[in-house]
Every structure is written in C-alpha cells, then in structure tokens.
C-alpha cells in the first residue's frame, strides 16, 4: 500500500467485531468439544485430534497469509506479483530444516514418491486446472472457510473426480500400454482389486511401482545422519533450489520495480541483495504464514510418529480396527495415514464413501481397495485435518471480519467445477497435490516434488495464457469501454 | 453477471468485480489500469479478500498509488487507485 493511503472500514463496527469474535469462539469451542468428548469416550481418539489441531493451525495460517500455490504461479504470470511464490519458498526452507531435525530423531513419517515423468504430467494437469478454480487444493479449503461456496465446489469436484477416476475402466483401459498390463498382472495382486482392469490400477501396479524412489541424502552416500538430513535433504534438495528460484523470481519479476523506486542507490551487489531482501520481506503476512506452516508441518510428523509409538501402530487402520471401526478398511486393514500435511487423498476417500453409500462400488481397485480404504468420514483421522483446515481458516476470517458467505454465479461455478475436476485428475496422476506431491516431498529430500512443481508451473503458465485470452474476449463483448 | 468497467467522470473510472474470485479481480484490474492514462483514477469494487493482497502488491510493483481503501459492513471493498 502506498504511503498516505486513507484506510477506512465503514460499518464494520464494534458490534460486528464482537459478533464475529463470538462466532470464532464457537468454532474453536466446537473443535475443543470434539477433542474432549472423543477423548472421554476413548483415549485413542487423541490420534484423530492430533490431525485435527494441526489442520486447524494450517487453516489459520493459510487464511492469514492468503497462502495459495495457485496464487503463487498465477499471480507471477498473470499480474507479475511474486509475493506468494516468495512465501512458499520461505515455507519450503523452514519445513525442510524442521523435517531434517525430525528425521534425526527417527520419528519422520515421510515416504518418498517414485521418480518419474508422471510427476510432470500430473503437475501440469493440476496446475492448468487450478488457474481456473481460484485456488490450489489447500487454497480452496481455506477459501471455503472464508465462506466461498465456489471454493467448496472446487473441493467437492476435486474429491469426486479422484474417486471416480481411480476406478474407471472401459475406454480408458484401451489407452493402457501392454507393458503396464503385463507388469501389473505379474505383481500377484488379490483378485478383489482386478488389477488388469482399470487405467489407474495398471498405471500404479504396472508403471509407478516399477519406478525407484530417491532420497537425496541417501543417494549421495552421506555416512553421517546429520549430513544426510541437513546437507543432503534440506540444503541440497530444498534450500539451494528455493534460493535459486528466489533469485530468478527477483531478476524477472521484482528487480526492475525495485531499482526504479531506489534510483539513489549505487549499482552493485549490495543494492541487488537489498532488493532481494526487500522482496523476501515485502509481505509480512505471507512470510509469517510460511514460517508457521513450515514449522508446524515438520512438528506434525514428529507428533504423529510419537502417537503411533504410544499406541503401538504403524497405520491408523490398526487403531480403527482395535476401536471397532472396521467399516471401509482396505484389504490390508489399512487406511490413508501419511502422518504429515496432506490434502487430496482423504478427500477422495470421503467422496468414495458417499458414492459407496449411494450404491456404487468404488473399492475394486488398488487405490481404495488395497491401500487407502474408504472409512466413514467421522472415523477418518486425516479427513479430520481437512475439516479443521476449513475451521481454522473460518476462525481467522471471522476474527479479521473477512468471513462472507458467497454463492457463485453460473460462470464462476463452471470454472470451479471444471478446474476442480482437472485438479483431481492431475492429483491422482501426480500422486498428490501441491502439498503431498510438492510441499511435503521437496522438504524431505525427495526430488520428485520439483518435477511436480515444474509441471504445475508449466500448466499454470498455459492456464494463465488461456484465461487472459478468455477474459479479453469476454470483455470485448460485454464491457462498454472494452479492455 | 459481468464485470462492469465504467467512466465516472473526467479521468475517473470504476471497475466493479463483485462476486468474482481469484484470479478474475486482479486480472481485470491489471487490464483496466492498462487502459488508464497517468494520473487518472480507478475505483475498484470487489469482495474477494485474497485478491486484495495481489492487487496491493501489483500496485506497489508497478508504482501505482492506492489512495483510498474502504470496506463496508457487507465485506465489499472499494479501493481508489491512481495510475502512476
């Protein structure tokens, strides 16, 4: 904001502020009640509540910093604003440092993804779709918490698109390479998952499972655990690439404006560094959100692993089984339980559970049937995290008088659903979204996340090109003054 | 519903993008500002809070001044931007 700006808030008076504070307290009270009530019933619900409260912190931070990866890519290409891309790089650096410390304690829950071109393809489809929706997977959750019904449509379409995509066969089966089918058939899968039927099953068993996962610290052969975690995983796989990206972002999108405003500074490295630092600290809200997200995401891994040790489990499926909630467990009696910040898979589970209740069998596949299950959303700890991201964001929006229930127009709803479907397809092909396939991977020594990010950036760039064309065409027809 | 871009008076324009979510408000604003001459003002009406962050940063980068920011009880924001 410029100096001397007149900043007024008309009508958002003390009464409205008080009412919103009460509403925020009610949301917090609800989550506290859930935590206390379920704990009173069975202490093992603590595992669920851990996910819940980390989700709540993520939701508050995301809303506070307007933290959204769709915004990071889109605003760079569409309006030349690097604010969010910078915030994300800050979060990457911090999350990687905390992750390295957690890895050293032996309590990391992270599992690397295989390294392959699928990450670029999935990232590109996801990135293209998220330009249309107005938010990434996490951005849509926090915007739902702000009262945006279009963001809720994104979450729903993303969830149902995934649930249907992993089970669909028919014409898609004809696109499966014969090598995938042969490799999948050779895996000796249980007959219930009918592994040679369905595009996604053969993609997983016949392609993904044949790829190798890489952890940079291990691949470089560091003997010292400290060097493996902090030099290999954090410094080389996260901090150096993030710093290089910040230099590129500065050179392309920030430097010109900074030097124009600081003509009095002598040219040289000191001025360039001052400009770079000015970019990093330009948006305090985004930087603070990045800081909290990075630290909390690392601590969550430690907490979930500590709880797994406490309850003597390695997957929440064992806990659910012991607690008598056997509905929706996978063939291996497991459920999706990453142990860290994740978004899309649990939402796909929720959608699949609804489809199942409506009479559709979507469990005859690897994704749900063999690995993740479709537990009742009330007993899905990871889905508790998604709900509480919305709750945390709602609390922050209420406290800042920014909550507003907004229903979309038909145009916005169409963009939301179309983009959400593309994001769902991209997330499944890329084995995760902007969080699971990027944020959680690059910060834990897994380079596959950078491939996803490259695809997401390329898809985002293409999406912005398309969107610009669409808006210009629309305005040429509708706006009296044209554009 | 469509975005409304109207002339309010000499050198003063209004862009109304209420109801739109990201990325519409910031792209419309960028395109509207490109149409203005130096010194002219754009009154921007929007109700998507996260677009405000991007628009504010965009103005800072391009040297345009946000001379007034008003938010009413319905969470609608009215910003006046003077083109550099």
Q: Which chain B residues are Cβ-neighbours of A398 within 8 angstroms?
A: none
Q: Which chain A residues are Cβ-neighbours of B4 within 8 angstroms?
A: 479
Q: What was the pLDDT predicted at B48? A: 85
A74 C-beta neighbours (distance < 10 Å), count: 30
Q: What was the pLDDT predicted at A4? A: 41
Q: What is the ipTM of this complex?
A: 0.83
Looking only at Cα atoms, what is the longest distance across chain B? 32
Give the Cα separation of A380 and A368 in Å (integer): 13
Q: What was the pLDDT predicted at A145? A: 96
- Strand (E) or helix (H) holding B12: strand B12-16
CA distances from A7 to A15, A43, A64, A446, B78 (A): 20, 49, 19, 45, 10
Mutation target for A interface from B6, B12, B23: give the one with most A CBs within 10 A.
Answer: B23
Q: Which one of A7, A79, A82 has the shortest CB-CB distance to B69? A: A7
Q: Which chain B residues are Cβ-neighbours of A12 within 8 angstroms?
A: 71-73
Nearest residue of chain A to residue B19 (CA atoms): A408
Count of domains for chain B: 1
Contact A16 B5 (CB under 8 A): no
Q: What was the pLDDT predicted at A1? A: 42
**B74 pLDDT tier (thresholds 50, 70, 90):** low
Give the Cα separation of A228 and A243 in Å (integer): 20
B66 beta partners: B81
CA angle centred on A303, ends A302 and A305, rounded to 5°: 65
Give the Cα separation of A298 and A108 in Å (integer): 9
Task: Tell me which of A420 and B58 has the higher pLDDT.
Answer: A420
Report the CATH number that the domain containing residue B78 is assigned in CATH: 3.30.110.40
In terms of Cα–Cα distance, which of A290, A257, A365, A295 is closest to A97?
Answer: A295
Q: Which residues contact A211 (CB under 8 A, 6 or more apart)?
A: A114, A115, A116, A118
The stretch B8-17 carries a mean pLDDT of 93
Q: Where are the domains positioned within chain A?
A: 11-472
CB-based contact A189:A353 (threshold 8 Å): no
Q: What was the pLDDT predicted at A2? A: 42
Q: How far is B70 from chain A (nearest CA, A)?
A: 5
Q: Which chain A residues are Cβ-neighbours of B58 within 8 angstroms?
A: 75, 79-81
A174 C-beta neighbours (distance < 10 Å), count: 8
Q: What was the pLDDT predicted at A5? A: 47
Q: Which residues contact A247 (CB under 8 A, 6 or more apart)?
A: A276
B69 and chain A: CB distance < 8 Å anywhere? yes
| Burial of residue A65 (number of CB atoms within 10 Å: 0-12, 13-18, 19+) | buried
Contact A479 B5 (CB under 8 A): yes
Q: Which chain A residues are Cβ-neighbours of B71 within 8 angstroms?
A: 8-10, 12, 401
B56 and chain A: CB distance < 8 Å anywhere? yes
Q: What was the pLDDT predicted at A264? A: 92
Mutation target for B interface from A65, A79, A149: give the one with most B CBs within 10 A.
Answer: A79
- Strand (E) or helix (H) holding B67: strand B65-71
Give the Cα separation of A376 and A148 in Å (integer): 26
Q: What was the pLDDT predicted at A479? A: 63
Contact A71 B58 (CB under 8 A): no
Nearest residue of chain B to residue A84 (CA atoms): B54
For residue B70, the enclosing domain spans 4-82
Contact B73 A409 (CB under 8 A): no
Q: Which chain B residues are Cβ-neighbours of A82 within 8 angstroms?
A: 57
Q: How many CB pairs under 8 A join A and B?
A: 162
Q: What was the pLDDT predicted at A271? A: 96
Find the distance separating the first CA and the last CA of chain B, reported in whole Å.
30
Predicted TM-score (pTM) above 0.80: yes
Q: How far is B73 from chain A (nearest CA, A)?
A: 5
pLDDT < 70 regions, chain A: 1-12, 479-483
In terms of Cα–Cα distance, which of A93, A361, A360 is closest to A242?
Answer: A93
Q: Which one of B23, B63, B75 has the shortest CB-CB distance to A404? A: B75
Find the distance separating the first CA and the last CA of chain A, reported in whole Å.
25
Q: Which one of A5, A70, A75 has the shortest CB-CB distance to B26? A: A75
């Amino acid at each position: 904001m410029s100096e001397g700006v007149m900043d007024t808030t008309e009508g958002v008076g003390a009464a409205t502020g008080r009412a919103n504070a009460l509403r925020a307290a009610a949301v917090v009270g609800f989550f506290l009640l859930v935590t206390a009530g379920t704990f009173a019933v069975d202490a093992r619900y603590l595992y669920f509540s851990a996910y819940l409260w980390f989700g709540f912190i993520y939701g508050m931070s995301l809303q506070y910093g307007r933290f959204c990866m769709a915004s990071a890519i889109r605003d760079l290409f569409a309006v030349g604003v690097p604010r969010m891309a910078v915030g994300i790089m800050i979060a990457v650096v911090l999350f990687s440092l905390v992750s390295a410390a957690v890895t050293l304690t032996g309590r990391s829950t992270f599992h690397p993804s295989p390294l392959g071109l699928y990450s670029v393809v999935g990232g590109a489809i996801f990135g293209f779709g998220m330009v249309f929706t107005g938010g990434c997977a996490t951005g849509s959750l926090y915007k739902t918490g702000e009262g945006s019904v279009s963001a809720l449509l994104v979450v729903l379409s993303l969830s149902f698109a995934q649930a249907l995509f992993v089970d669909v066969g028919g014409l898609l089966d004809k696109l499966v390479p014969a090598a995938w089918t042969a490799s999948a058939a050779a895996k000796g899968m249980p007959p219930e998952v009918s592994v040679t039927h369905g595009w996604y099953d053969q993609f997983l068993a016949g392609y993904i499972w044949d790829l190798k996962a890489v952890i940079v610290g291990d691949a470089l052969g560091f003997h010292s655990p400290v060097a493996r975690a902090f030099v290999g995983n954090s410094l080389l796989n996260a901090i150096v690439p993030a710093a290089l990206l910040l230099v590129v972002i500065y050179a392309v999108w920030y430097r010109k404006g900074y030097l124009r405003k600081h003509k009095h500074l002598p040219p040289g490295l000191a001025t360039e560094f001052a400009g770079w630092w000015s970019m990093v600290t330009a948006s305090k809200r985004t930087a603070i959100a990045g800081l909290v997200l990075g630290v909390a995401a690392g601590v969550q891994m430690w907490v979930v692993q500590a709880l797994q040790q406490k309850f003597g489990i390695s997957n929440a499926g064992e806990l659910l089984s012991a607690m008598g909630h056997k509905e929706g467990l996978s063939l291996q009696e497991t459920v999706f339980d990453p142990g860290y910040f994740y978004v899309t898979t649990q939402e796909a589970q929720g959608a699949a559970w609804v489809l199942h209740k409506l009479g559709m069998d979507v469990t005859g596949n690897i994704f749900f049937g063999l690995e993740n299950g479709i537990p009742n959303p009330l007993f899905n700890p990871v889905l508790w995290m998604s709900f509480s991201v919305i709750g945390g964001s709602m609390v922050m929006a209420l406290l800042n008088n920014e909550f507003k229930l907004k229903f979309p127009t038909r145009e916005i709803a169409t963009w939301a659903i179309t983009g959400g479907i593309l994001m769902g397809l991209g997330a499944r092909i890329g084995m995760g979204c902007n969080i699971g396939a990027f944020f959680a991977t690059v910060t834990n020594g897994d380079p596959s996340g950078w491939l996803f990010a490259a695809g997401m950036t390329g898809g985002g760039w293409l999406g912005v090109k398309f969107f610009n064309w669409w808006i210009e065409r629309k305005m040429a027809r509708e706006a009296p003054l044209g554009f | 519903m469509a975005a409304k871009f109207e002339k309010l008076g000499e050198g003063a324009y209004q862009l109304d993008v209420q109801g739109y979510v990201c990325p519409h408000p910031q792209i419309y604003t960028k395109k509207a500002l490109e149409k203005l001459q130096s010194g002219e003002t754009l009154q921007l009406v929007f109700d998507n809070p996260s677009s405000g962050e991007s628009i504010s940063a965009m103005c800072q980068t391009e040297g345009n001044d946000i001379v007034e920011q008003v938010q009413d009880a319905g969470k609608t924001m009215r910003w006046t931007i003077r083109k550099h």
